[in-house]
Structure 1
Amino acid sequence: MSFSELGLRAELLRAVEEQGYTIPTPIQRQAIPAVLGGGDLLASAQTGTGKTAGFTLPLLQRLADGPRPKARQIRALVLTPTRELAAQVGESVADYGRHLKLRSHVIFGGVGQQPQVDAIRPGLDVLIATPGRLLDLHQQRHVDLSRVETLVLDEADRMLDMGFIHDIRKVLRLLPEKRQNLLFSATFSAEIQTLANKLLEAPTMIEVARRNTTAETIDQAIYRVDRDKKRDLLAHLITKHRWYQVLVFTRTKHGANRLAEQLSKQDIPAMAIHGNKSQSARTKALAAFKSGDLQVLVATDIAARGLDISELPHVVNFELPNVAEDYVHRIGRTGRAGSLGQAVSLVCVDEHGLLGGIEKLIKKSLEKRIEPGFEPDPAAKPEPIENGRRQRSDRRGATQQRQAKGPGNEADQRPRRRRSRTQRRA
């Protein structure tokens, strides 16, 4: 099947061809006709499946056939959990809509709001936003949501994980009752089902990939190593194998900063991105990484959500995630579109319980390797995981964790009633 068989207009097909795409992905084949039909949609798709184009293309087509918005009015609203994902969706809307006379803009916190206010003032066909900044501008009467025709919740599972459910409910109360709703999530969790039941009306359901699976195009391996030798092992592997464009995950913002600094001192160009970095710094680091000028990008889970880097060859878990599902999301950034990718995890004795949880989740035993010169000490004992995350395993190998009250930890957490200022204004 080609894109031309999905009922898209010539302007959109031209834009798709200019982007180099010829065959739609499974999510696009199912989502595009469903969205064009005007009904609600509940779609589960892992990272890298092409879901953004799956809703962007039909959304633009529906908007192109309608009336232009009036001052401060929004016709289609796309809510995302992070700045990076908002920017990515904004780029897709601009790229696919380049031959249509539609206006779009992206708004998020961490930058001055006046340019955003100026862009919204004449009205927009598509507004891509993070919840905090959207509510701020609405409260100041800079944006009118009473004429929204279509609402898209992108990566809804992450929005719930980050505690945005209260902001989402506030936004929903500002929208017209009659509208099209599109909900995209990596998983169909109980929380997502609850949200979908309240938000969607007789939705089309799409699930293009089995939950919590990893792509066969990804070579996954575990390197056993002592905790204090991880940095040297990472530098050794990067140098030995001449890895470029390496996305490295840490649990915390502090850990990301420290690792990037240490790698740079070893003549491996590296930068860190996380919630405490300014938007300009994050944009600069990502642009350098995409262009190949930056060899290593060190990121936390929240900061990396939404990163769209084609044919990313290497993902490294410097530390395993505390939530097993995040392992799938992390490594899903490589091995896309049939390309081969490599996912390496550096695992010390503290993380054996986390590794067991990941292997149970993906129903697969990962290959264990030991690099000569970095053999782990067989007598090493588990210690509390850095920056407040403690771990202990019972006889069944289960892992119990508790979150310390100290600041500075950006590990994935369950929704809580109170969120940080950064999250409220994301």
Structure 2
Amino acid sequence: DLAEQTATAMASFARHLTAPRVGVALLVGGVDAGPQLKALREGVEVVVGTPGRIIDFVEGGKLALDAVRFLVLDEADRLVADAPEVIAGLYKRLPKGGTGLNRLQVLLFSATLHSPEVRALAGQICQDPLLVDLKGREHVPEAVDHAVVVVDPREDRSWLQGQPQVWTDGAHALDKTGPAVSTPECWSEAVKRLKPRLLQRLIDRYKMEQALIFVRTNHDADNLERFLAALGGNAGAKFRGKAESGKEGAYSCVVLGGARSMEERRAALAAFKEGDVRFLIATDVAARGLDIKELPYVINMTLPDKSEDYIHRVGRVGRADTMGLAISLVAALPEKVWYCTVKGYKPWLEPDAKNTRTQEQGGHTIWYDEPALLQAVEKRLGRDVARLGADLSLPPGMAAKLEGGGEKYGQARGGGTSKEVAEHLAAIHQNVQQLGSLEVAAQGSFLALK
């Protein structure tokens, strides 16, 4: 999805470049490779794609790398974590003996470039690497407010209600649960049942018309989609396209997850951006780098296990100085979750006495400690994250800011462009035009060098 977004932007830039022409090809999996091969045969200057599809084309002799001059890795920290062998294999095939204009240039981009893994990769594939950090390691947009809903089934017994029905992940399919049970397994299952109910209350409390909802796994995404659909989100069923008349329901949703096909993900993102549905349920990998204009809310159903991923999640709001609210549902008690490292194996589809054990016991689950994860997030932010009230109301400071300053989540701070900013933009308009002309001349001169 990020590759498509990037390719679209590159094609938009290329429309203004005619001498020299810049052709762009998009190489991603999950779709027919025919049009991609056709684009390569016709000749392109820029290839945008996912590591898997690119390396497949290279190994199949369909993509030549002998003329590559630039290698750009966007969301580099995620690529290092998920596909280090692919990145290393691709780099080995690139021409590296050139000098001057023919020297390979490698660029790594991410909102979180400070990890040891990224620095190690830069040392391996970059010549004299230089770190350019525009904001600093600890930077989080000031336009983002952060809040926590403490999920404690000992205090909120609504998890015992039969309606609305909640579908959980099956990690406790064999465990005894109920009002008279007080085991860690029971409380873990109670957390799973309570979180969707709290999500519904948040949606109602803030009258949310658009929010990006992060879940931990594709299975969690499926279950949450089912829950919201049962509330009447998409006329009681999964979203199948825009309704012919009237707005979609108050809980209408789509899923952006790695387990969905490329066509499904493309349609889901389009439906969300165009306002056909209110909620986009997403996993971390699928939503990396997405740019959704004027998004007011991000909701974390479960905190990520790395504070860096929290930064990426909440970075979907607060863009271009637009006010945003990031709300995290944090369990007060440990939650048992699936953690399977066997590729292709999905134990949650058939939970049994063995696979529901923890990893230490030979199974495929772990105990998730969200209070500890929240501490890591707060350390990264450099401050405590405010708790919402018992009625899910904003803390006094946040509420006062919205009421007194005319600000609103999903809109630019101050309610729009201030008079001072407008005057400043008008004053520098001519200078910016001159800089644009100079840039064109400089780039043309560079390309003409022999």
TM-score w.r.t. length of structure 2:
0.62
Does 2:252 match 1:269?
A: yes
Of 145, 150, 158, which aligns to 2:70? Answer: 150
Tell me what 2:213 maps to.
248
Q: What secondary structure is seen at the aligned counterpart in 1 of 2:196?
A: helix
Tell me what 2:302 maps to.
319
- The runs of 5 or more residues in structure 2 that have no matched partner are 97-102, 153-190, 233-250, 335-369, 394-450
Tell me what 2:284 maps to.
301
Tell me what 1:194 maps to.
120
Does 2:51 match 1:131?
A: yes
Question: Which residue identity lines up with residue 286 of structure 1 in the other structure?
Answer: L
Does 2:106 match 1:181?
A: yes
Counterpart-to-counterpart distance in 2, 1:189 and 1:348 = 27
RMSD: 1.6
> Could you say which structure has the greater relative contact order, defined with CA pairs below 8 angstroms and 6 or more residues apart?
1
Q: How does 1:14-163 map to 2 (within 5 A)?
A: 84-100=1-17, 101-162=21-82
Does 2:91 match 1:172?
A: yes
Does 2:273 match 1:290?
A: yes
Question: Which residue identity lines up with residue 3 of structure 2 in the other structure?
Answer: A
Q: What secondary structure is seen at the aligned counterpart in 1 of 2:260?
A: coil
Q: How does 1:357-368 map to 2 (within 5 A)?
A: 357-368=376-387
Contact 1:88 1:306 in 2 (8 A): no
Counterpart-to-counterpart distance in 2, 1:95 and 1:245 = 27
Contact 2:113 2:119 in 1 (8 A): no
Instruction: Flag the 1:238–1:205 CA change in 2: closer, same or farther, 3 A.
Output: same
- The runs of 5 or more residues in structure 1 that have no matched partner are 1-83, 375-426
Q: How does 1:326-337 map to 2 (within 5 A)?
A: 326-337=309-320
Deviation at 1:254, TM superposition (A): 0.7
How many residue pairs match? The answer is 290
Deviation at 1:204, TM superposition (A): 4.0
* Deviations 1:386-424, CA, capped at 9 Å, x for gaps: xxxxxxxxxxxxxxxxxxxxxxxxxxxxxxxxxxxxxxx
Counterpart-to-counterpart distance in 1, 2:391 and 2:323 = 25
Question: Which residue identity lines up with residue 180 of structure 1 in the other structure?
Answer: Q
Counterpart-to-counterpart distance in 1, 2:255 and 2:299 = 14
Question: Which residue identity lines up with residue 215 of structure 2 in the other structure?
Answer: T
* Deviations 1:161-209, CA, capped at 9 Å, x for gaps: 11x1111111112211132221213222211111112222234431011
Q: What secondary structure is seen at the aligned counterpart in 2 of 1:304?
A: coil
Of 222, 225, 246, which aligns to 2:148? Answer: 222
Counterpart-to-counterpart distance in 2, 1:308 and 1:322 = 23
Larger Rg: 2
Of 366, 370, 375, which aligns to 1:356? Answer: 375
Greater strand content = 1
TM-score w.r.t. length of structure 1:
0.66
Counterpart-to-counterpart distance in 2, 1:95 and 1:371 = 48
Instruction: Flag the 1:370–1:105 CA change in 2: closer, same or farther, 3 A.
Output: same
Counterpart-to-counterpart distance in 2, 1:142 and 1:282 = 26
Counterpart-to-counterpart distance in 2, 1:357 and 1:206 = 25
